[in-house]
């Protein structure tokens, strides 16, 4: 077991693509968990052209679909015996109200619930590796809001809904740390900064999204710069273990982002929604 395996969601664009390109030299096997396999095929060809030592496996995984996540996880479990580093990077911003096929609010369903289920299925492979690492791409948008009732399905201001999904991923990192660090897991959440990517630029969001992006784009950094926090987290896992970080600086979450009671309630509710009776003890 000498080779190193990276698995990453959302590797086909923006921060995930930039991070994968830069991490390719440190890994031998890369599992691209992508909803768009055509984009992933083009990226795979590009990666292999530049790093001929690499084995790249494309796995179709739409995080907004529980069936798709389970099918992807089954494939990975059957075809790989370990994952040294899992990066939960994919994310969606929806400025119009959308639901997943399982009736979750789209951002919560994709950014948090899809990743929770994926991690539930893949954690055994992570724990079977030498590095035992999970990196979660969060966002300071967590600070916009708290988790009130109906947070899996509820309506509201899109930025609050996005913030809720990212607050949930922050709690998820804390819970993973609390429950698995004794078994050797390293887990970090990162904020990439304001990055010029495709985030929020979907056909449905186009009008309002273009206005917002147009106004803010001078303040955005490149995907390469946005990937910096993810790279640091992967490369310096001991330093950033159990922490939320941006560009090498720890971010201490606001009080609501450290709520033990709300975190435990979220994890209990998530496990109930997903009918899981193992994984996390709460």
Q: Which residues of the shown chain bind ligand NAP in the complex (CB under 6 A)?
A: 9-10, 12-16, 35-36, 39, 61-64, 89-92, 110, 137, 139, 192, 194-195, 197-199
Alpha-carbon dihedral sign for residues 232, 106, 6, 16: negative
C-beta pairs of 47-53 under 8 Å, 24+ apart in sequence? 47/20, 47/21, 50/21, 50/24, 51/24, 51/25, 53/28
Residue 52, Cβ density class (10 Å: 0-12 exposed, 13-18 middle, ≥19 buried): exposed
What is the nearest approach in angstroms of ligand NAP to the Cβ of residue 121?
A: 15
Nearer to ligand NAP, 39 or 264 (CB): 39
Distances in Å between the Cα of 273 and the Cα atoms of 53, 116, 154, 155, 267 are 42, 11, 14, 18, 10
- Nearest-approach distance from CB 214 to ligand NAP, in angstroms: 15
Minimum CB separation of residue 277 from ligand NAP in Å reads 26
Q: H helices of the chain, where?
A: 14-23, 37-50, 66-79, 106-107, 115-127, 158-180, 206-216, 223-226, 228-235, 260-273
Question: In the complex, what is the shortest distance from the CB of residue 246 to ligand NAP, in angstroms, rounded to a whole number?
Answer: 9
Q: How far is the CB of 106 from ligand NAP (least distance, A)?
A: 8
Q: Which is nearer to ligand NAP, 90 or 271 (CB)?
A: 90
CB of 54 to ligand NAP, least distance (A): 19
Of the two residues 219 and 261, which places its CB atom closer to ligand NAP in the complex?
219
Q: Which is nearer to ligand NAP, 61 or 123 (CB)?
A: 61
CB burial readout 70-81, b (16+ within 10 A) else e: eebbebbeeebe
* Residue among 1 and 23 whose Cβ is closer to ligand NAP: 23
Nearer to ligand NAP, 16 or 209 (CB): 16
């Amino acid at each position: 077991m000498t080779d190193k395996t990276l698995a990453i969601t959302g590797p086909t664009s923006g921060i995930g693509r930039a991070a994968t390109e830069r991490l390719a030299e440190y890994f031998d096997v890369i599992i691209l968990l992508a909803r768009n396999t055509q984009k992933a095929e083009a990226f795979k060809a590009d990666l292999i052209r530049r790093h001929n030592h690499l084995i790249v496996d494309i796995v179709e995984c739409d995080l907004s679909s529980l069936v798709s996540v389970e099918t992807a996880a089954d494939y990975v479990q059957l075809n790989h015996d370990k994952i040294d580093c899992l990066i939960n990077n994919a994310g969606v911003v929806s400025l119009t109200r959308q639901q997943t096929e399982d009736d979750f609010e789209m951002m919560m369903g994709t950014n948090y619930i899809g990743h929770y289920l994926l991690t539930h299925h893949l954690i055994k492979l992570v724990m079977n590796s030498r590095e035992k690492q999970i990196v979660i791409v969060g966002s300071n948008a967590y600070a916009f809001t708290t988790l009130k009732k109906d947070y899996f399905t509820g309506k509201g201001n899109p930025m609050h809904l996005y913030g809720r999904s990212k607050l949930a991923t922050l709690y998820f990192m804390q819970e993973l740390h609390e429950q698995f660090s004794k078994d050797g897991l390293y887990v970090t959440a990162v904020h990439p900064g304001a990055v010029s990517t495709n985030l929020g630029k979907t056909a449905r969001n186009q009008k309002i999204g273009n206005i917002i992006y147009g106004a803010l784009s001078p303040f955005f950094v490149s995907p390469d710069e946005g990937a910096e926090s993810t790279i640091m987290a992967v490369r310096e896992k001991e330093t950033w273990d159990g922490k939320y970080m941006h560009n090498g600086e720890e971010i201490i979450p606001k009080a609501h982002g450290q709520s033990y009671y709300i975190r435990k309630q979220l994890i209990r509710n998530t496990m109930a929604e997903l009918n899981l009776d193992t994984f996390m003890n709460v």
